A and B are shown apart, each in its own frame.
Chain A
Amino acid sequence: MKNILIIDDNKDITELYKIILESAGHKCITVNDGKGGLEALQTKSFDLTLLDLAMPGMSGIDVLDIIKNEPNLKSSRILVITASAPQDVEIKRIKKEYGVLDVVKKPINKVKLLQIVEMY
């Protein structure tokens, strides 16, 4: 059982992931913008955070930038899930610069999502 935070601007997706993950016995909190995500991270600690990159307003990268410079957030375990098609080089860069667990491309089906969450 893990405490998981899901940050994605698409409510349908956060809801889907929540159902899948809770069916597997995990505890989930969903937020639909970067700002909300940061607030949640400040107030509560999570075993894993699923972060979308392309979001209106504060993007995933912005969120990562803030986390990088906040000492109390630095230890957060973050998994980036993106629907855009970033270059392989770009993925590498994100991994290296922000110390995220992995960058996973959408779509992710039920099996894959549960696999990833189990893995980390």
Chain B
Amino acid sequence: MKLLSGRKLSQIIACISICIGLIVCIGWLLDIPILKSIIPNAVTMKFSTSISFIFSGIAIYFLSKYTEGKTNIAKIVIPISSLVVFLFMTTLLTAYIFGKTSGIEQLFIKESSDAIKTSLPGMPSFATIVNFILIIVGIFAFFESRLKKLFTPIGYAISTIGIISIIGYGVNQPILYYYIDNVSTAMAIHTSFLFTSLGIALILSRNNITVQHGESVKIYTKILSLFLASSVIPIIFVIGLNFNILESVPNNESIKISMIIISISTIITVIIFSSITARSISKPIISLKNVAMQISKGNFSIKANESGSDEISELSKTFNDMIGNIKMKEVLHMEIEKLKHVNEEQRQYELETELKKISDLKKALDESSIVDITDKEGTIIDVNKKFEKISKYTRNQLLGQNHRILKSGFHTPEFYEDMWNTITQGKVWQRDVKNRARDGTYYWVKTTIVPFLGKDGKPEQYIAIRTDITNQKLLERRLESLLENLKTIDMEKEEFAAMVSHELKTPLIPISGYAELFLDGSLGNITKIQREKIHVMYENSILLTTLIQDILDAQKIELKRLNLDIRTESIKEITKRCIDIFSPIAEQKGIKIVDETQDMMISGDPDRILQVLNNIISNAIKFVPIQYGTITINSRNDNDAVMISVKDNGIGIPKSKQKDLFKKFYQIDKSLTRKSGGTGLGLAISRGIIEAHGGEIWVESKENYWTTVNFTIQKGNSK
């Protein structure tokens, strides 16, 4: 409030100054004496003084406005007002210096009668001129930082000069109100008051100055003042020269007027030229400064005016280049920032995705497995729900405990040693482990321990993932014992078979042997009846021996313990051996056995293949008609095997029964058995033998006409 009122006061004083100036001005123009002197019969205020007061008032008023921040009008008005005052005062000062009147003071009026005599009519006192010049200087000091310190003293000086004049009137000393006979007129009393007030107003206008954009005027003011200052002395000389010319031709009115016009036009020309020059120099600089200010606020789109070819336009160009660089850097910087931001966002997104994945995985793990985490000493630091459930410990009971508390004692120390050796090397360890729960029951877990490595590559923690395999283990155990039992049974069977083979066959040897000796007469003559009966004994003992051998073979096949002595041999060799065996009985029955096989090499156990052939032929012999029977053995290539066929012209086999032919103890006609002999195992054994060789055996037959038994055996490498 105080500051505001100071500024307001200065504005009020300025307004009073303008008002009084106007009143006096009107007084002079209309020739009203009371308005000229305000106080009747007192010293008048000169016309030039009144004009100067008006303009000084205007200047100071706007100076105060400028301080408030309203700079737009002030920027124009202040220099103009100041210049008008400056113009008047310079002319008047010249008049004083040369002691001649220029006539400017009586430009609009004619001062005829004066209450107080003056050396020159219409001239203000010397002190008045000095004061006005001080005001102008003060206004320049306002804008000029280097003269800032002078501003307040100038204000005081102006007031002091006014006060001295007032005092002069008070004590009636003309010298104090600057009256010097024939040299200087007196300063009017109201002029003195106005100066006193204006000095204060000038000081107050400066109060708490906050010039922000003042700099834009400053350079212009500076240049202008520089020009004016440098032109003051020439002007004074020009005017002075005019005065002297006027002096030499005293009564020529026309010359007098033309001289006045020359003087004024000189001053005006100087002022206009100065203003334009100052403006042309300061304008680009100011605009450059404005651009710089805009840029400093971050507005890079603006550009300095580069027109012209002087140093300032060069500066503008350089400035623009610089701005261009800065702009580019700024843009680059912004782009980098943007990229950084994008990168940051991307990383953040990836991190979040990764985290989600991990938490999903953990959830899946927790749902499916028994999980716990231990430190490198094996102290439990985390367990999941499933772990609690299987171990029957609560989480709180487990945390901080060594994992050892779950040891069942089932595994050897080496088992655990192996575990520690593996995981301390940072490797994954996987085994089935038996653990003991809190209630003393045992459980089996398939355990995988994964070490978490620290930055030094050494394990810091271990995560153990387990699955409950207690039931599986139980089943395994049961299965193992079952298998063990089965093996024992198999072995017993085999032992039994070996025993049977030896113990049953041995008693038959003397029976059949002696029977044979009786029959061939080695033991003396026997009757016909005796021979018949001994023959029955012999036949049956042979049958029994064959049966025992067949049962043993069938069992071997069933147990898949048929050991084959694989050799390469010609099929012809085998058929020859077979025919040798059967030719006696065939001859006896009048049956023909025809060998049509070729000399083909087969790969197999010759004894076993012979056994197959024997079985087939002994069957055939049973079913072919006596005297007319024919058995033909044939062989041919069948890809990488040899197919052997035994064809007979026997009774044939019904189609429906061909499938069952190879079953154990299968006989088409039970009644035939007794008649033809045989164990019913022959074809089953044959099939077992052929299949063990990787071959096939099958039957083709036409009932009442023929039967063919075919089998295949791997081809052998010919010798």
Residues in chain A within 8 A of chain B (CB atoms): 10, 12-13, 15-16, 19-20, 23, 54, 83-85, 87-89, 92, 106-110
In contact, A92 and B565 (Cβ under 8 angstroms): yes
A16 to B506, CA, bound (A): 12
User: Nearest Cβ in chain A — how far from B496, in angstroms?
Assistant: 12
Query: Does B564 contact A88, Cβ atoms closer than 8 Å?
Result: yes
- The distance in angstroms between the C-alpha atoms of A23 and B520, with both chains bound, is 12
Interface membership of B704, Cβ < 8 A: no
Contacts of B605 in A (CB 8 A): 88
**Are A107 and B517 interface neighbours, CB within 8 A?**
no
- What sequence of 0s and 1s flags, for each residue 488-524 of chain B, a beta carbon within 8 Å of any chain A beta carbon? 0000000001100110011011101110110010110
Is A107 a contact of B505 with CB atoms below 8 Å? yes
Residues of A contacting B508 in the complex (Cβ-Cβ under 8 angstroms): 107
Contact with B513, one of A20, A23, A89 (Cβ below 8 angstroms): A20
Chain A: minimal CB distance from B718 (Å): 24
Give the tally of cross-chain contacts (CB within 8 A): 63
**Is there an interface contact between B502 and A16, defined as CB atoms closer than 8 Å?**
no
Q: Find out whether the CB atom of B509 lies under 8 angstroms from the CB atom of A106.
A: yes
Q: Contacts A16-B514, A19-B523, A23-B522 known; list 8 others, CB within 8 Å.
A: A15-B510, A19-B517, A19-B522, A20-B517, A83-B509, A84-B502, A106-B506, A107-B508
B552 and A85 contacting across the interface, CB-CB below 8 Å: yes
Contact assessment for B565 and A89 in the assembled complex, using a CB-CB cutoff below 8 Å: yes
Q: Is the CB of A83 within 8 A of B512?
A: no
The answer on a CB contact under 8 Å between A89 and B563 is yes
Q: Which residue of B lies closest to A15 (CB)?
A: B510
Smallest Cβ-Cβ distance to A10: which chain B residue: B506
Report if B545 contacts A (CB, 8 A). Answer: yes
Residues of A within 8 A of B498 (CB): 84-85
- Judged by DSSP, the binding face of B is helix
9 A-B residue pairings within 8 Å (CB atoms): A12-B509, A12-B510, A16-B514, A19-B523, A20-B517, A54-B502, A88-B605, A106-B506, A107-B509
What's the minimum C-beta distance from A32 to chain B, rounded to whole angstroms? 13
Using Cβ atoms and an 8 Å threshold, which residues of chain A touch B501? 83-85
Chain B residues lying within 8 Å of A85, measured Cβ to Cβ, are 497-498, 501-502, 552
B31, CB-defined interface residue at 8 Å: no
Question: Any chain A CB within 8 A of the CB of B607?
Answer: yes
Shortest Cβ distance from residue A108 to the other chain B in the assembled complex, whole angstroms: 8
Q: Tell me which residues across on chain A come within 8 A of B514, comparing CB atoms.
A: 16
Asked if B565 and A88 sit within 8 Å, CB to CB, the answer is yes
Look across to chain A and name the residue whose beta carbon is closest to the beta carbon of B506. A83
Q: How many residues of B contact A (CB 8 A)?
A: 24
B435 to chain A, nearest CB (A): 47
Whether A87 contacts B563 in the complex (CB less than 8 A), given A16-B514, A109-B516, comes out as yes
Cα–Cα distance between A83 and B498 once the two chains are bound (Å): 9
**CA A83 to CA B514, docked complex, whole Å:** 17
Task: Determine the distance from Cα of A85 to Cα of B677 in the docked complex, in whole angstroms.
Answer: 24
B421 to chain A, nearest CB (A): 44
Please measure, in the bound complex, the distance between the C-alpha atom of A104 and the C-alpha atom of B508, giving whole angstroms: 16
A89 to B552, CA, bound (A): 17
List of B residues within 8 angstroms of A12 by Cβ: 509-510
- Flag if B513 contacts A109 (CB, 8 Å): yes
| B residues lining the A interface (CB < 8 Å) | 497-498, 501-502, 505-506, 508-510, 512-514, 516-517, 520, 522-523, 545, 552, 563-565, 605, 607
Min C-beta distance of A104 to chain B, whole Å? 12
In Å, the complex CA distance between A107 and B509 comes to: 6
Q: How far is the CA of A50 from the CA of B522 in the complex (A)?
A: 22
8 closest A-B pairs by beta carbon, nearest first, are A12-B510, A84-B502, A85-B501, A16-B513, A88-B565, A83-B505, A87-B563, A83-B502
Q: In this complex, what residue of A is CB-closest to B500? A: A85
Task: Give the complex CA separation of A52 and B552 in angstroms.
Answer: 20
A19 to B515, CA, bound (A): 13
Q: Pick the most buried of B502, B552, B607: most chain A CB atoms within 10 A of its CB.
A: B502
Which of chain A's residues has its CB closest to B608's CB? A88
Residues of B contacting A87 in the complex (Cβ-Cβ under 8 angstroms): 563
Q: How far is the CA of A109 from the CA of B522 in the complex (A)?
A: 14
Q: Which residues of A contact B522 (CB under 8 A)?
A: 19-20, 23, 110
Complex formed: what's the CA distance from A12 to B508 in Å? 10
* Nearest residue, chain B, Cβ from A90: B563
Which residues from B are CB-within-8-Å of A110?
Answer: 513, 516-517, 520, 522
* CA A107 to CA B510, docked complex, whole Å: 10
Whether A13 pairs with B506 at a CB distance below 8 angstroms is: yes
Instruction: Decide: A16 and B510 in contact? CB cutoff 8 A.
Output: yes
Chain B proximity of A9: nearest CB distance (Å): 9
A108 vs B605: C-alpha distance when bound (angstroms):
22
Residues of chain B lying within 8 A (CB to CB) of residue A13: 506, 509-510, 513
Nearest CB of chain A from residue B546's CB, rounded to whole Å:
10
B523: chain A residues at CB < 8 Å are 19
Q: How far is the CB of A62 from chain B (nearest CB, A)?
A: 17
Given the interface pairs A85-B552, A89-B563, the reply to whether A109 lies near B505 with Cβ below 8 Å is no
How far is the CB of B558 from the nearest CB of chain A, in Å?
15
A11 to chain B, nearest CB (A): 9
Question: How many angstroms between the C-alpha atoms of A83 and B520 in the bound complex?
Answer: 24
Chain A residues contacting B607 (CB-CB under 8 Å) are 88
For residue A106, which residues in chain B have a CB less than 8 angstroms away from its CB? 505-506, 509
A95 to chain B, nearest CB (A): 12
Question: Which residue of A is nearest B516, CB measured?
Answer: A110
Closest Cβ neighbor of B552 among chain A residues: A85
B512–A109 CB distance below 8 A: yes
The CA-CA distance from A54 to B499 in the complex, in Å, is 10
**B565 and A107 contact, CB distance less than 8 A:** no
> Chain A CB within 10 Å — which of B509, B564, B605 has the most?
B509
A92 (CB) vs chain B CBs: closest residue: B565
Q: Name the residue on A nearest B519 (C-beta).
A: A110
Q: In the complex, what's the smallest C-beta–C-beta distance from B179 to chain A, in angstroms?
A: 163
How many angstroms between the C-alpha atoms of A120 and B506 in the bound complex? 24
**Which chain B residue has the least Cβ–Cβ distance from A87?**
B563
Contacts of A15 in B (CB 8 A): 510
A20 to B498, CA, bound (A): 28
A88 to B514, CA, bound (A): 29
A54 to chain B: which residues have CB within 8 Å? 502
- CB contacts (< 8 Å) of B545 on chain A: these are 107
A100 CA / B386 CA spacing, docked (Å) = 70
Task: List, in ascending order, chain B residues with CB within 8 A of A109's CB.
Answer: 512-513, 516
Contacting residues, chain A, for B506 (C-beta < 8 A): 10, 13, 83, 106
Q: Which residues of A contact B505 (CB under 8 A)?
A: 83, 106-107
